Structure 1
Amino acid sequence: MNPKAIVIGAGFGGLAAAARLRARGYDVTVFDKQNQPGGRAAVFERDGFIFDAGPTVVTAHFLFDELFALFGKKREDYIEFREVYPWYRIGFADGTYFNYGGTLEQTLDEIRKIEPDDCDGYLRLLEHTQRIFDVGFTQLGDKPFGTVGSMVKVAPQMIKLGAWRTVWQMACKYMKNDKLRRVFSFQPLLVGGNPFNTTSIYSLIQYLEREWKVHFAMGGTGAIVRGIVKLLEEEGVKFRLGEEVEQILVEHASTTTLHQSFPDNSSKWTDTKHPMRVTGVLLASGETHSADTLVCNADAPAVYKHLIASEFRPKWTDKKIEKLKYSMGLFVLYFGTKTQYPDVAHHTILLGDRYKEHLAEMFDLKKLALDDFSTYLHRPTATDPSMAPPGCDCFYVLCPVPNLQGDVDWKTMGPKYRDLIIDDLEKRHLPNLRANLAVDFYVTPEHFRDNLNTLHGTGFSIQPTFSQSAYFRFHNKSDDIANLFFVGAGTHPGAGMPGVLCSAKVLEYVLPQA
């Protein structure tokens, strides 16, 4: 009989983990609180408009290809990706724009329009980010960092690459113009980090985009979820949707139960190091389900704090969990229009005038900006018109806001913030927006807390600072509980589609053979 594996959470990390578990011979069941798979990548449908709830930027589609290849199948038979251009259109407060992406020469042409002298700096920046990518992504992105030794081993390379610098400092090293420094430093915001304190290792995103471009899935991000779920069901993975895990059941274990076979026939779990193990899960319905292995795609700090009794987590005490630096929250306004805006790019980043000041207020002071805020505007109908009724456009606008460690009353502020954002979009980007609205609704950090179970309603779990990266991030294999594993935004290597997909690849190194 195959060993039983339970996966908590059907986000991209959980789906990828389920695929890798099944390919290794496990009998896999995925539980998710929501009534549809996808986690943050769920789908909302309103009046003929299809809204991807969360992630929309595909920068490493080969990681999806790998999941299908595990079973001798081709991703192209399930999901269609198309490259978009520009990858992002960055709008500045003065009304000017920068079209980022495409060929190298197209990017250099955009740089020349702002500051010709920064072309050489960009080429040197790109070369540096390639070196970071070769180490941070290719060598280490899918490897476990569960010991101090694993960190010490790579420390010389990290120091040589300038990992102690922030993403902003890296941009400033190579670019002279302030606008261009913003263009080449905003990327950490897409994974929950402040460019002014996120380690420059995350600058590898720029080379990742340059090497594999930016794509969109026809049918939306939800089409990626449906394609992977179809694959998993074909391979015998079971889904229990609309069923919330209320508690992870743990017991003190004997040496015998901890001794498991690894591919090299060695035993790496000892009674001294891992005196506890998971026996199963308790659902909110009162049902219990046993498991030989448990993989959590749920938010790691929330799992430790709310699903595991304190006696079974000596490392991750409530006090230590609360000391962590958490990502910002998100206010996301979804709307459809009765007309089309053909001049609006697929991905648009609208930067406010106060860049550093606004980010400091949001991350450090937990203060909500009521003017001069920055937003990400997503228009999927620029690539796939089927996301909206004929003659219409589909949008969402994502606005970074303080997480719930702040004191914003979203019941009161939600409608006001919706109006502020619509006013800003109508003024800067979408003329006559109010008159053309066909449907709109929004979610606040409370949605991420109540429906996605993230601690403090964060959009991306903990921040990707240097002191919360690699070994210093939540480990993919629990330090205390023998058969408990983590994938997803809060664990190594981090948030974003590439990060959570790579977190599932780490399982290949830490899971016992079924």
Structure 2
Amino acid sequence: MKKKVVAVIGSGFGGLATAIRLASHDLEVHLFEKHPDPGGRARTFHMDEFRFDGGPTVLTAPWMFDELFELANQERSKNITFLPVDPFYHIFDWNGRNFVYNADIPFVMEQIRKFRASDTDGYLNLLKAAEPMFEKGFLQLGQEPFLKLNTMLSIAPNLLRLRAHESVYRFVSRHIEDNFLRMCFSFHPLFIGGNPLRVSSIYTMIHLIERAWGVWYPKGGMGQLINALVQLFQQMGGNIHFQTEIQRITTQHGRVTGLLLKNGEKFSADYVVSNADVPTTYLSLLEDRDRAWRHHRLRYERFSRYSMSLVVWYFALNKKFTNNPLGHHNIVFGPRFGGLIHDIFVSHRLAEDFSMYIHLPTRTDPSMAPEAHETMYVLVPVPNQLSNIDWYEALPRLEERVTQVIDQHFMPGLKRHIVKRRVIDPNYFEHELNTYLGTGFSLEPHLTQSAWFRPHNASETVKGLYLVGAGTHPGAGIPGVLLSAKIVHKLILDDIEQSN
């Protein structure tokens, strides 16, 4: 019997993980990537001997990668080394407050006491209250495809009992009284494109995921992990096509037939898996007839809420800054929390103040820069393209303010030690990564855009079309994206079994 052919669009973590899982079966799997290098949002940027992670930097739940290598009877640790990051985060504000946390309860308690002694009990209560969120949201529901409304209705009572209708910030505030600590335990949704004041409290599970399995960093950067996955896929017989952009997903009588490439060539396939942004998949890669009511243009253009975008600077430094409180992962809150988040997500306005994430990978892995040098990645959440901001005009002033704050509070003399730089903005996400509205994380993961309400992993309008990645269920972040790959893998195998 002729092998079934699967075409996977995009070589981000979702596309690669799906391709690897499918390649472990008797299937012919082809992976298509528009860029000359793999990774999607997780691409690597090089500036001479300096290496930079293009996107994700926080790795949790390492066993999810172990599973992929085990499919080929290999050990992940023999292909890529994961280095522990401890503490997990250093968190600051512009007033000089500094909170450090990891998985060690006594250590975290000491940190909490610096701000409010009574919040130590509150933190323990928060962990206890969030445990069911972790068990239900990640361990159970994260692997459920939610293709049917009945599945959603069956869990609704549990979600209400867990207070999943509350926002992360409100849920945390029930247990923590100090305002700075509330921010410290509420920022995680921003890592998956969510507004902490609006996203469901079920996402407090991210804190527990980190506590359960730690925070790690691949030796050599995320790009080394991507390369290890590409090599694994090819060793398993997979085919990868770089610099090959997709014009259209082709269909006939409501079922996929393959792909039309930008160069005019056609590729026949029994199944198509899109790791492209979900709105882009439905609005740009499918004909109008293939969208039907559930994926009508109005759904994505008028009735969906989207994550913020990002401006990210990559600085190559000719000095290692050792005399400062920064660690590997650093969060710096600006003078406003709720107001700034409202400006970004609701008003779509570029405010004068900002918060930022500073990534210093050489604190864990010196190989990311030449000896006695440092790589630095500074991320500022900004409005998506609904803002109509002229980023060419706005970026120089924003960079000046950002580097001034870092210079003043953390790394004196920073600007004179920057020897090379690169910056990406919402235009990069929109045009290079093809994300709708230039978002950093696709659809915002609030309750009415989660589980059954989120675009499904199997298309309801086109048979044989499946979706993985940040915009589909269960959502953004590396663990969520890898879970979506696991779901799609099972759905395709089930379809093959039924067709036989």
TM-score normalised by length of structure 1: 0.94
Residue 418 of structure 1, CA deviation: 2.0
Aligned-partner Cα distance in 2 for 1:185–1:173: 12
- Answer yes or no: is the 8 Å Cα contact 2:103–2:210 preserved in 1: no
The equivalent of 2:72 in structure 1 is 71
The equivalent of 2:479 in structure 1 is 498
The equivalent of 1:346 in structure 2 is 328
Query: Which runs of 4 or more aligned residues in structure 1 lie more than 6 Å from their structure 2 counterparts after TM superposition?
Result: none
User: Residue by residue, what CA displacement relative to the aligned partner does 1:229-272 show, whole Å, maximum 9, x if unpaired?
Assistant: 111110011110111101111111xxxxxxxxxxxxxxxxxxxx
Amino acid at match of 1:85: D
Q: Secondary structure at the match of 2:74?
A: coil
Which of 318, 322, 331 lines up with 2:311 in the alignment?
331
Aligned-partner Cα distance in 2 for 1:413–1:94: 26
The equivalent of 1:450 in structure 2 is 431
Aligned-partner Cα distance in 2 for 1:126–1:102: 11
Aligned-partner Cα distance in 2 for 1:25–1:341: 52
Aligned-partner Cα distance in 2 for 1:21–1:102: 35
Query: Is 2:442 aligned against 1:464?
Result: no
Residue 158 of structure 1, CA deviation: 1.0
Residue 24 of structure 1, CA deviation: 2.9
Aligned-partner Cα distance in 2 for 1:430–1:211: 33
Which of 331, 335, 341 lines up with 1:359 in the alignment?
341
Which of 250, 259, 264 lines up with 1:281 in the alignment?
259
Q: Which runs of 5+ in 1 are unaligned?
A: 253-275
Residue 482 of structure 1, CA deviation: 0.9
- Answer yes or no: is the 8 Å Cα contact 1:8–1:295 preserved in 2: yes
Amino acid at match of 2:461: D
- Answer yes or no: is the 8 Å Cα contact 1:418–1:442 preserved in 2: no
Residue 162 of structure 1, CA deviation: 0.8
Amino acid at match of 1:50: R
Which of 272, 280, 284 lines up with 1:306 in the alignment?
284
Residues 397-408 of structure 1: pairs in structure 2 closer than 5 A: 397-408=378-389
Aligned-partner Cα distance in 2 for 1:94–1:422: 17
The equivalent of 1:488 in structure 2 is 469
Aligned-partner Cα distance in 2 for 1:129–1:33: 40
Amino acid at match of 1:107: V
Residue 116 of structure 1, CA deviation: 0.9
Aligned-partner Cα distance in 2 for 1:377–1:331: 12
Amino acid at match of 2:73: G
Residue 416 of structure 1, CA deviation: 2.5
Q: Secondary structure at the match of 1:332?
A: strand
Residues 52-201 of structure 1: pairs in structure 2 closer than 5 A: 52-201=53-202
C-alpha RMSD of matched pairs (Å): 1.0
Aligned-partner Cα distance in 1 for 2:168–2:280: 28
Aligned-partner Cα distance in 1 for 2:72–2:47: 35
Amino acid at match of 1:484: L
- Answer yes or no: is the 8 Å Cα contact 1:340–1:393 preserved in 2: yes
Q: Secondary structure at the match of 2:17?
A: helix
Amino acid at match of 1:408: I
Residue 414 of structure 1, CA deviation: 2.1
Amino acid at match of 1:237: G
The equivalent of 1:513 in structure 2 is 496
Which of 382, 385, 392 lines up with 1:411 in the alignment?
392
Q: Secondary structure at the match of 1:405?
A: helix
Aligned-partner Cα distance in 2 for 1:120–1:513: 52
Q: Secondary structure at the match of 1:197?
A: coil
- Answer yes or no: is the 8 Å Cα contact 1:247–1:281 preserved in 2: yes
Residue 102 of structure 1, CA deviation: 3.8
Q: Secondary structure at the match of 1:176?
A: coil
User: Residue by residue, what CA displacement relative to the aligned partner does 1:292-347 show, whole Å, maximum 9, x if unpaired?
Assistant: 00000100011100110111111211111112000001000000111111232000
Aligned-partner Cα distance in 2 for 1:418–1:45: 21
Residue 2 of structure 1, CA deviation: 1.1
Residue 353 of structure 1, CA deviation: 1.3
Aligned-partner Cα distance in 2 for 1:128–1:208: 14
Count the aligned residue pairs. Answer: 490
Residue 165 of structure 1, CA deviation: 0.6
- Answer yes or no: is the 8 Å Cα contact 2:190–2:196 preserved in 1: yes
Residue 224 of structure 1, CA deviation: 0.8
Residue 126 of structure 1, CA deviation: 0.7
The equivalent of 1:260 in structure 2 is none
Amino acid at match of 1:391: A
Aligned-partner Cα distance in 2 for 1:453–1:250: 22
Q: Which runs of 5+ in 2 are unaligned?
A: none
- Answer yes or no: is the 8 Å Cα contact 2:18–2:489 preserved in 1: no
TM-score normalised by length of structure 2: 0.97
User: Residue by residue, what CA displacement relative to the aligned partner does 1:442-474 show, whole Å, maximum 9, x if unpaired?
Assistant: 000000011100000000000010000000001
Residues 214-293 of structure 1: pairs in structure 2 closer than 5 A: 214-252=215-253, 276-293=254-271
Q: Which is further off, 465-474 or 63-72?
A: 63-72
User: Residue by residue, what CA displacement relative to the aligned partner does 1:331-368 show, whole Å, maximum 9, x if unpaired?
Assistant: 00000111111232000000011000000011001001
The equivalent of 1:435 in structure 2 is 416
- Answer yes or no: is the 8 Å Cα contact 2:92–2:333 preserved in 1: yes
Q: Percent sequence identity over matched residues?
A: 40
- Answer yes or no: is the 8 Å Cα contact 1:24–1:513 preserved in 2: no
Aligned-partner Cα distance in 2 for 1:455–1:307: 12
Residue 70 of structure 1, CA deviation: 1.4
